[in-house]
């Protein structure tokens, strides 16, 4: 879960983080900018929702170790005796010849190479 903060600069509000667009809420007589539970004081005017700037959470792409694009890594299966090939594809991500990768686009063989290098 990521952290949501609401900042006020002058008359401008900014919501940083989260994946839900800002909205206004009243609860038990108190007024809030959500998400983030920013409580407006009694003398603060309720802002127009269009005037609240929204900076959503953006997941960072995990960094893969330096893997040569033409190198093929052989990783033994969990039952032994079979080896699968892990290599970098043209889009810059790892791929594997095992059936698990064929179904889910991820597998333990790729995880093993990413950790081992």
> For the chain (length 117 residues), average pLDDT per consecutive 10?
79 87 92 90 88 84 65 88 89 89 90 77
The pLDDT assigned to 65 comes to: 59
d(CA 13, CA 8): 4
- Name the one residue in this structure whose structure tokens are 């006020």: 8
Secondary structure class of 23 (helix, strand, coil):
strand
Q: Which residues contact 48 (CB under 8 A, 6 or more apart)?
A: none
Q: Which two tokens stand for residue 42?
A: 């009694």
pTM, whole model, 2 decimals?
Answer: 0.48
Q: What phi and psi values does residue 111 have, to the nearest 5 degrees? A: -60, -40
Q: How far is CA 68 from CA 7, 71, 94, in A?
A: 44, 5, 11
């Amino acid at each position: 879960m990521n952290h949501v903060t609401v900042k006020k600069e002058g008359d401008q509000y900014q919501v940083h983080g989260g994946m839900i667009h800002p909205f206004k809420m009243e609860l038990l007589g108190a007024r809030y900018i959500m998400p983030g539970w920013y409580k407006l004081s009694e003398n603060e005017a309720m802002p127009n929702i269009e005037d609240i700037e929204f900076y959503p959470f953006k997941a960072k792409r995990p960094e893969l170790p330096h893997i040569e694009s033409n190198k093929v890594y052989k990783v033994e299966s969990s039952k032994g005796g079979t080896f699968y090939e892990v290599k970098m594809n043209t889009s810059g991500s790892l791929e594997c010849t095992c059936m698990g990768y064929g179904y889910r686009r991820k597998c333990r063989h790729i995880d093993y190479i990413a950790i081992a290098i």
